[in-house]
Structure 1
């Protein structure tokens, strides 16, 4: 029994020494990755076993051949244990990181939903209150002269159009998020789409005294779904016009490079805060100012969805959209596959 106690004590001492070294290594690597920690733990465990066996085998006065056999056996077992442990440790670390990223993504999505509900509730409540007030005034005949009645009717139509656009944006965004968007891809001349979008945005730009400029050449043909591509261009133009001060300029250019077509919409908004650039395509994010007055005096009810829809539609086309500040403003660049 005394020999067994001695063997236990010797093995325990050798294992404890390895454990102390491993604890020091873990302390030094406390800010490193999960894989590093798991690797050190595995090495410490296997090393403690190997050290204990080796010390005991040495103390037992085995023959050189028997001692060599024991050490080779221990090394082989340690190698296999370390390899298998490292492999599964990496998987465990990846699963932990993925779970953490999934939780963070879920928190961001949930926050985006709450923000969206808050924005949309505000953007619906404001025009609805105005509609109700005007409808009650007409119903109670508070206003009777033809000019005022006509103005009330016009305002009701304008507010109804705004709410319709907001509902359309919500429906489009829900299709993108649900993966229910079905694109009918074909060869689409980008110049034609931009020309139509410029014509549609011209009245708003003219009312705000904003100059629309388009490149005269270099318009490529892209592989896209024309209705969705038209919406992308229209949203970018309206966003640029909305945040460009009076007497500013919005410029549209296009070209191709590296097998992709690109479309750029640049404005003179004065630039976007660097902290806002990564969040610009998030749902319900509008930055500051959160709202701008439209040309007819109303508040733009975009719901903060326009750029989120642009991002979703471009991504559905297999392209990408980015934004960066330029001198005096910012520049949105959309990249799409060139048509064969």
Structure 2
């Protein structure tokens, strides 16, 4: 009946019931033992004093518990959305101290969650702005070329062929952008499905470099690989290949002509590392923590040109690597920067598709 009432009332009732039961028992024993006169008065006096002392101690303890519990509630109510939980001053009982620490951790996680949500919302707004710009520009160009072809403004075969080729290139680029957006949406929604199996990193690196060889040749960038053919890792070959390809393409795009992009695969303890080193001139230190954010493009020197993507490649690479329970990082090194993927050699948590 008292489980929904104040702790103070509960303790007071417990004390009263205890004293009343003890007093009743002593009185009954006294009567049964036919104690009379002065001994009887002494027994009843001792019992009464013990009861009053017990009741007083219960009230003091209850008051203390009520005070600290109200202080805990006040501390919770005083927390603003931008602040952490501050425990009430003074020493708390063990149970309430445990609750206070749990509240402190919960509020810290909530604040971190709100900060991540704000950062993600900012990234989404930036992504929408970049994608809108990247879509509007080629669409406007294609519309102008199509209208010129429809109106007969352009009739010479060479120009018509050039317009058709340009439209085809823009369509392909927009298709890649849509594919990247779809992949990123799957990653953010937790809908990325992996089919992990043992693969050799040497073969993976060779396949990726073969796929970007034409892009590197057109840019005048050399490609180099340093990997053991049988270096094993437990991963989804298609998705991991996409992550590595995004890093290599990013390196090629930001490496000047006659530069070199080096891809390495090495074993380190219980992990393997894939690294992509370029000659981009380095990334500003302030931008290093943000390079894997959605639509981040950094300084003007690294801003997209006609052959650039929508700024989603690195964000997709991070999502794929984290889905493999790995880590991805970037550091400035030598004449450029080095992107590195770390993956566990074996992945028991990836034994079944996720």
Pair in the same fold by TM > 0.5: yes
In the alignment, structure 1 residue 201 sits paired with structure 2 residue 208: no
Q: What is the total number of aligned residue pairs between the two structures?
A: 265
Contact 2:200 2:229 in 1 (8 A): no
CA distance in 1, matches of 2:194, 2:110: 32
Match of 1:257 in 2: 268
Distance in 1, Cα, partners of 2:230 & 2:185: 31
1:160 and 2:160 are equivalent in the alignment: no
CA RMSD of aligned residues (A): 1.9
Q: CA deviation at 1:134?
A: 0.8
- The structure 2 residue matched to 1:98, chosen from 103, 109, 112, is 109
> 1:124 and 1:311 mapped to 2: Cα distance?
24
The aligned residue for residue 291 of structure 1 is 303
2:316 to 292, 296, 309: 309
Q: Specify whether residues 251 and 221 from structure 1 end up closer, same or farther in structure 2 by C-alpha distance, changes over 3 A only.
A: same
TM-score (norm 1): 0.74
Match of 1:270, SS? coil
Separation in 2, partners of 1:195, 1:140 = 48
Q: Does 1:230 align with 2:241?
A: yes
Contact 2:202 2:227 in 1 (8 A): no
| Structure 1 ranges of 4+ moved more than 3 A | 216-219
User: Retained in 2: the 8 A contact 1:281–1:307?
Assistant: yes
Contact 1:219-1:255 at 8 Å conserved across structures: no
Call closer, same or farther: CA 1:255–1:299 in 2, change over 3 Å. Answer: closer
Matched, 1:38 2:110: no
Aligned mates of 2:268, 2:342 — CA distance in 1: 9
In structure 2, the gaps of 5 or more residues are 1-82, 348-354
TM-score by length of 2: 0.71
SS in 2 for 1:236: helix
Q: Which secondary structure does the structure 2 equivalent of 1:42 belong to?
A: coil
Q: Which residue of 2 aligns with 1:64?
A: none
Instruction: Report the CA distance between 1:299 and its aligned residue.
Output: 4.1
Partner of 1:136: 147
Q: Which moved more, 1:166-175 or 1:93-102?
A: 93-102
Aligned to 1:126: 137
The counterpart of 1:247, out of the listed 255, 258, 269, is: 258
2:211 & 2:152 partners in 1: Cα distance?
Answer: 36
SS at 2:105 equivalent: helix
**Corresponding residue for 1:3?**
none
Deviates more, 1:327-336 or 1:188-197: 188-197
8 Å contact kept, 2:205–2:227: no
CA distance in 1, matches of 2:265, 2:254: 22
Q: Deviations over 1:104-140 (max 9, x none)?
A: 1111111111111001101111110111011111111
Q: Please list every run of 5 or more consecutive structure 1 residues that lacks an aligned counterpart in the other structure.
A: 1-32, 44-80
